[in-house]
Amino acid sequence: MAHASHHRFTFDDYLRVEHDSGIKHEFLSGQVWAMSGGSPSHAAIAAKIGALLTVALEGKPCRTFSADLRIRVEESGLATYPDVSVVCGSLELDPEDSKGHTVTNPRVIVEVLSPSTEDYDRGEKLGHYKTIPSLEEVVLVAHDRREIEVVRREPDGSWSRHVARDGEDATLASLGCVLPIVDVYRDPLAVDDGPRTRG
């Protein structure tokens, strides 16, 4: 992420930046950062997870959202755009956003990791997410191997980690569904360099 300015922004300032800008920004403590675009693989994995969750949640009072949905962490003030998020029940909108474009009650957040953001997503950003009262699971999707880690809030308030690797399913207990690793990472455009014959 690139720093947009040394100017100290209010949340209203930030919302105006978002309204006028062609790119998304993250907001925290008066600072605004431009969020860099992902690779084709990153975009495809995020889209696939969104599609799998949409199908899995059919008939349930939950809805899957793309990275166009802004999430606000009320305790810390962080405003950001997870790659995928799921809200169950009614949307709770940030009262500070008069346009009603910011949601505060995700049940599940998915972040597809990248080399430039992995440390932040696994560390500081995850720490912000854990303070969201409605949040039950954060899904961290590896970029360099077929692996999905689910960080889950337990009934006692502690957080546990569950790793699924190639050939396994990542279980989302809060949604009652799974993400098959093979489906998440399948690339129908992959080129087979082996010998070919034409019939």
Q: What is the largest CA-CA distance in the chain?
A: 66
Model confidence over 127-177: pLDDT tens digits? 999 999 999 999 999 988 999 999 999 999 999 999 999 999 999 999 999
Q: Thinking of the domain 38-185, which architecture would CATH place it in?
A: Alpha-Beta Complex (3.90)
* Lowest-pLDDT choice from 57-66, 137-146, 168-177, 190-199: 190-199
Domain assignments of the chain as residue spans, ordered by start: 1-36, 38-185
Instruction: For residue 160, give the 3-state DSSP assignment.
Output: strand
Distance CA 18, CA 7 (A): 15
Strand partners, 27: 32, 79
Model confidence over 80-129: pLDDT tens digits? 999 999 999 999 999 999 999 999 999 999 999 999 889 999 999 999 99
Average pLDDT of the chain, as a whole number: 92
Neighbours of 116 (CB within 10 A): 10
Q: What H or E segment, with its residue span, contains residue 180?
A: strand 177-180
Strand partners, 111: 140
Pairing mode, strands 84-88 and 108-112: antiparallel
Pairing mode, strands 137-141 and 147-153: antiparallel
For the chain, what is the radius of gyration of the CA atoms?
18
